[in-house]
Amino acid sequence: MMESGAPICHTCGEQVGDDANGELFVACHECNYPMCKSCFEFETKEGRKVCLRCGSPYDENLLDDVEKKESGNQSTMASHLNDSQDVGIHARHISSVSTVDSEMNDEYGNPIWKNRVESWKDKKNKKKKKSPKAETEPAQVPTEQQMEEKPSGDASEPLSIVYPIPRNKLTPYRAVIIMRLVILGLFFHYRITNPVDSAFGLWLTSVICEIWFAFSWVLDQFPKWNPVNRETYIERLSARYEREGEPSQLAGVDFFVSTVDPLKEPPLITANTVLSILAVDYPVDKVSCYVSDDGAAMLSFESLVETAEFARKWVPFCKKYSIEPRAPEFYFSQKIDYLKDKVQPSFVKERRAMKRDYEEYKVRVNALVAKAQKTPEEGWTMQDGTPWPGNNTRDHPGMIQVFLGNTGARDIEGNELPRLVYVSREKRPGYQHHKKAGAENALVRVSAVLTNAPYILNVDCDHYVNNSKAVREAMCILMDPQVGRDVCYVQFPQRFDGIDKSDRYANRNVVFFDVNMKGLDGIQGPVYVGTGCVFNRQALYGYGPPSMPSLRKRKDSSSCFSCCCPSKKKPAQDPAEVYRDAKREDLNAAIFNLTEIDNYDEHERSMLISQLSFEKTFGLSSVFIESTLMENGGVPESANSSTLIKEAIHVIGCGYEEKTEWGKEIGWIYGSVTEDILSGFKMHCRGWRSIYCMPARPAFKGSAPINLSDRLHQVLRWALGSVEIFFSRHCPLWYGFGGGRLKWLQRLAYINTIVYPFTSLPLIAYCTIPAVCLLTGKFIIPTLSNLASMLFLGLFISIIVTAVLELRWSGVSIEDLWRNEQFWVIGGVSAHLFAVFQGFLKMLAGIDTNFTVTAKAAEDTEFGELYMVKWTTLLIPPTTLLIINIVGVVAGFSDALNKGYEAWGPLFGKVFFAFWVILHLYPFLKGLMGRQNRTPTIVVLWSVLLASVFSLVWVKINPFVNKVDNTLVAETCISIDC
């Protein structure tokens, strides 16, 4: 087909073919998207009457032909479906590889696998036998379908809308961006064509740095070209899926909470997160909370036991009085009038009783924490006298305990509670466990076996649910038939408690969450930030979105050369590449058939559930594989709870992921400490889009490391993860070009997320240049002409206007923008610089860096942690830059005083750049000084040492003594008559 030059259908991979007139069949006359007639008819029958690529409506004549053909063939449709030769590859694209594999399995395959397939067939047959009325009365329309055909007025309306930024705000913003690009072009033309010969090295360094800064600005600015806002309608969601007198039709949600070290992540913080989840405003039978204890600590287990008991009182109290937030620690610490809007006379009495119960609960948990400070020599022992299985944190079996749920304890009013499950995956020496990403993937499998909700919401242990309706906000998008079909996840912004009013170290990240993420929402969606995110489970399984066409066979996308420089002549593929393509085609065949698996006979179904395409992808668990086939979630009716627990223990085994696609194509992706960025990037490359949801009341709130040292270490971890992705095969510079599903502005955004640490190299050079200029008396800019002055003035004005217009459409305050700018410099010259060097060390020498978990609790005094200074090597580069610039300013003024009036003009430009550096590093200087202007001794010693070195350099330059021209002195001496 490739050699003949005939167009290939992008949906099924076959030739497009001709229409009734003998001409080439064209489905869309706007973009000429290659689609064969059979695929076009299938898409039309599914109700999709617009082009998959450009969104233009199909030709009405083509649609009429399909409708006539469909009406004429209704009586013979069943026979065509059973005839594999007539249907061919258009029976939802069953691949030839899958067929061969099934035939081989029939003769030489594993008999255990055959038994599994037969058991699934029996389950399907039992379900069919349970509904004999459906066979005798085929014309009867189900009640649910009747309701869908005639929805009420509210239910028929969209569940969410997109309203773009007003034109009077966005048009000037775009115009200034274009104007700034033009000014940058003229500016660099002037800088390159006017070198400074007396300081050529400094000039060249500054020009290279400025070019990189301009490139970085383009990467950061253009993904914000089309920002949007969204609004959700929870009332419409209830009108559509929660009708009176009927069971709720809302989709189930599995919550994931991850914790590692209970001594650094206090159990009370994790417990508040769990309690806020259990009390969420959502049907209790649709909510399950999984707590992953990756440290296998008995303290975490015992505190969860206490939490489950306290939840029996806390959950009904929250729902009865609709309190917010539903994390008790943060609810009781609010400084508000809690009597406002509370009309029930019993509220005051019950609130006081609940607060008293919570204080007693805190005492019990804190007693457990105090007891856990010192581990017994023989290890921990459970209440029944048996040793705790997780005494050896690096060698222990998998542990699962279900606390609450439909078969567990009920609340004090006798109502059912959401399911609460403790999970600690198996750990054995010699296995790679992949830290948080591995723990999340273990939760994916456990939840699929036990509850299998179609959606997953993951939060960090210190991010509690601040808005009890947050899940409903996400469902307004994910369950909207028009919007949610191609959405892989809904990302909420991160909001934080316990940060100082001025936000000295930009912990809130307001610019990123309120500016950048809104911009990405207008393209292909925001990046995944690791917490506060609701996933479509099918997207985590590596499947592509339903509306996207299948990918043609192509070269390995990890090859940079093959993606960037494609050859017209098809090269010969090596055997490994052929195998990878065959495996991908086999998996895609099963994926594309998931939505209509019930439409096939038993033989075709067995082809879809082939051992090659599933066990080698998902692992050796028949129960888990069956769960992947249930697109709408849920567990089999015949499932036994004890059997499911045994299977759940099996899927969290440390060897389960070996020789599978977990961490490569499925679940959270391995290979970086920032697995969130990488996982979201893979989903976007498959064609999924994500949505940014910003409800009026923040959905989740967490704690941030407000201490300077901890904040820098946090930024170091993020930056190192980006550097790791840059050096991996998943680098956005070359990965994912073959499918063409990642929009180019989205690719720019992902490139920006992995190259920003490298800005530290030109940034630290540019921050050093002002001090060098002041100490040497040289400058990087020649004498300015009128044209050059206009260019510099225009550049500064365009920078200011861009910032002002950005503030105007985003609603961010100027203080937040300035704090973000300051910490961009502080982090750039410290954490980002170290991340680049550590990334190179890991790539070249294989030296890995282990990170300690950031402490989640501050001191008792308000903002006490803010004023603590913990010594770390990350403090050295900013301290050095501060000292040399201060010394340079003193040297510059001394030199100007010595030379006279003419030296003050050039001094202004040099001092301006030096003050620019000092102002940006001022929060760092203030953090070093602490609350009482006390600095650690090691910092003082470093400061004195560096100051001494640069003082000696200054003395060597000797600015106070005029340079003596020896020739002039000799001529003067000759002319004197002695």
Q: Is 736 exposed, middle or buried (0-12, 13-18, 19+ CB in 10 A)?
A: buried
CB atoms within 10 A of CB 144: 10
Residue 647 and residue 623 in contact, taking contact as beta carbons nearer than 8 Å: yes
| Cis preceding linkage at 762, omega within 30 | no
Instruction: Tell me how far CA of residue 426 lies from CA of 257, 298, 970, in angstroms.
Output: 17, 15, 87
Asked if residue 294 belongs to a known ligand binding site, the reply is yes
Of 973, 591, 616, 951, the residue nearest 775 (C-alpha) = 951
How far apart (Å, rounded) are the C-alpha atoms in residues 887 and 894? 11
DSSP H helices, 509-596, are: 510-511, 517-521, 537-540, 560-564, 575-593
Instruction: Tell me how far CA of residue 136 lies from CA of 129, 132, 139, 140, 852, in angstroms.
Output: 12, 7, 9, 9, 65
Q: Please say if 294 is a catalytic residue.
A: yes
Residue 213 and residue 764 in contact, taking contact as beta carbons nearer than 8 Å: no
Provide φ and ψ at 941, rounded to 5°. -60, -45
Residue 699 and residue 852 in contact, taking contact as beta carbons nearer than 8 Å: no
Of the residues 254, 261, 293, 294, which is catalytic? 294
Provide φ and ψ at 253, rounded to 5°. -135, 130
Instruction: Give the H/E segment covering residue 878.
Output: helix 876-899
The dihedral built from the CA positions of residue 542, 694, 447 and 330, taken in this order, carries a sign that is positive
**Phi and psi based region of residue 120 (left: phi greater than 0; alpha: psi -120 to 50; beta: remaining):** alpha
| Burial letters 351-390, b for 16+ CB under 10 A, else e | beebeeebeebbeebeebbeebeeeeeeebeeeeeeebbb
Asked if residue 436 belongs to a known ligand binding site, the reply is yes
Q: Give the DSSP letter string of 648-699.
A: HHHHTSTTTTTTS-BTTTBSSPPSSS-HHHHHHHHHHHTT-EEEE---SS-S
Which residues, in sequence order, are bridge partners of residue 423? 292, 400
Taking CA 353 as the corner, what is the angle to CA 351 and CA 355, rounded to the nearest 5 degrees? 70
Which residues, in sequence order, are bridge partners of residue 421? 290, 402
Helix (H, G, I), strand (E, B) or coil at 437: helix
Which structure tokens are listed for 870? 């913990």
In what side-by-side order are the strands of the sheet with 464-465? 464-465, 700-703, 495-497
Of the residues 676, 710, 816, 895, which is catalytic? 676
Side chain identity, residue 804: V
The dihedral built from the CA positions of residue 463, 469, 473 and 475, taken in this order, carries a sign that is positive
- Cα 68 to chain centroid distance, Å, stands at 47
Which structure tokens are listed for 944? 């004195």
Asked if residue 286 belongs to a known ligand binding site, the reply is no
Residue 54 and residue 30 in contact, taking contact as beta carbons nearer than 8 Å: yes
Asked if residue 616 belongs to a known ligand binding site, the reply is no
Asked if residue 664 belongs to a known ligand binding site, the reply is no
Asked if residue 460 belongs to a known ligand binding site, the reply is yes
- Supply the Cα-derived Rg of the chain in whole angstroms: 32
DSSP state of 967: H
DSSP state of 513: I
Side chain identity, residue 324: E
Side chain identity, residue 734: W
Which structure tokens are listed for 150? 């005639």
How far apart (Å, rounded) are the C-alpha atoms in residues 258 and 199? 55
Q: Which residues are annotated as a binding site?
A: 258, 264-265, 294, 435-436, 460
Q: Which residues are catalytic?
A: 294, 676
Q: Which residues are annotated as a binding site for Mn(2+)?
A: 436, 460
Q: Which residues are annotated as a binding site for UDP-alpha-D-glucose?
A: 258, 264-265, 294, 435
